[in-house]
Amino acid sequence: MTKTFVGEIGPKPLPEKTRTCWSCGSMGAEHFCESCGKVQAPAAVDYFAFFGLPLKLSLDIAALERDFYGLSRRLHPDRSARASALEQEWSLEQSALLNDAYRTLRDPIKRTEYLLKLEGVDLAEQSKSATEQARTAGEIKKQVVPADLLEEVFELNLQLEQLRGYKKMGEHDSSVTEEIRNHKIALETRYEALLDELRSYWSEWDTLIEKHRSEAAENERRQVTRKMVDLLNRRNYIRNLVRDVNAVLEA
């Protein structure tokens, strides 16, 4: 099924500095008024826009950090101690938003998940509803094994089964334990490498963001989105698998 291009899909243009200061009426009021310096009511913008950033995934973290600390200082309650109650409330709200936005954007995975959410893909929600469906059906939630891991996971499961058996009988088999440890190291290496793969999708995404919006560009965006979703699912799978392996090794 191909969706037709609709105007609402895609990045919202950055908010122009057209907000008017509630206090002095001058234009160019974002978090603070450029003229009188008074704090403004928080605007309903996404975390990228909060920092005045385009919807791109490759971020200058040092610049983000600088902006964060700069705004943090200006929003500190001590600085609005003599302001009106409403201004103090806005400062608190802006502060909370600032912290959430910063924590989300500085983390590569959280940043990607957040962008996907803006694009209409909520991974946490998907996982929750899959768990819920399995529970209603009285089943254990099925984990889809990533295709490139099928063989390895099959072998690993056999070895884990074996080790569980040995442990139950109070026996010890150092060769199985050794093999499982090697699998674990390979999985952890793969896990780390996924970040590099993710960065390559960021570049694809960032290039698309600059393109003129068209149906073709929208399709490309959806493709990159799918690749990122697939990668994050693979990442979660490996993380859970390593957790299970550790549980058996430490049992």
Phi, psi of 39 (to 5 degrees): -65, 145
Write down the least CB distance from residue 113 to Zn ion, Å. 36
In the bound state with Zn ion, the residue whose beta carbon lies nearer, of 21 and 180, is 21
Q: Which of 117, 106, 128 is nearest to 46 (CA)?
A: 117
Rounded Cα–Cα distance for residues 223 and 104 (Å): 23
Element (H, E) at 104: helix 85-106
Residues 6 or more apart whose CB falls under 8 angstroms from that of 81 comprise none
Distance CA 186, CA 245 (A): 12
Amino acid found at 136: T
Chain positions 23 to 62 lying near Zn ion, rule: CB under 5 A, are: 23-24, 33, 35-36
Shortest separation between residue 18's beta carbon and Zn ion, angstroms? 14
Question: Structure tokens of 206?
Answer: 């960032």
Q: What is the DSSP string of 193-239?
A: HHHHHHHHHHHHHHHHHHSPP-HHHHHHHHHHHHHHHHHHHHHHHHH
Nearer to Zn ion, 94 or 112 (CB): 94
Mark residues 6-25: x for contact with Zn ion by CB under 5 A, - for none.
Answer: ---------------x-xx-
Q: Are 30 and 19 in contact (CB under 8 A)?
A: yes
Provide the minimum distance between the beta carbon of 52 and Zn ion in the complex, in angstroms, as a whole number: 18
Decide whether 75 or 245 has the Cβ nearer to Zn ion. Answer: 75
Binding pattern for the stretch 133-172 against Zn ion, x by CB under 5 A and - elsewhere: ----------------------------------------
Stretch 57-86 residues interacting with Zn ion (CB under 5 A): none
Q: How far from each other are the two terminal CA atoms of the chain, in whole angstroms?
A: 48
Helix, strand, or coil (residue 178): helix
Closest distance between Zn ion and the C-beta of residue 35, in Å? 5
Half-sphere exposure of 238 (CA within 13 A, CB side): 23
Q: Site for Zn ion (CB under 5 A): how many residues?
A: 6
Given the complex with Zn ion, which of 43 and 194 has the nearer CB atom?
Answer: 43
Q: Which is nearer to Zn ion, 23 or 162 (CB)?
A: 23
Shorter beta-carbon distance to Zn ion: residue 21 or 49: 21
At closest approach, how far in Å is the CB of 102 from Zn ion?
A: 25
Please state the closest distance from residue 88 (CB atom) to Zn ion, in A: 17
CB of 39 to Zn ion, least distance (A): 10
Residues that bind Zn ion in the complex, under the rule CB under 5 A: 21, 23-24, 33, 35-36
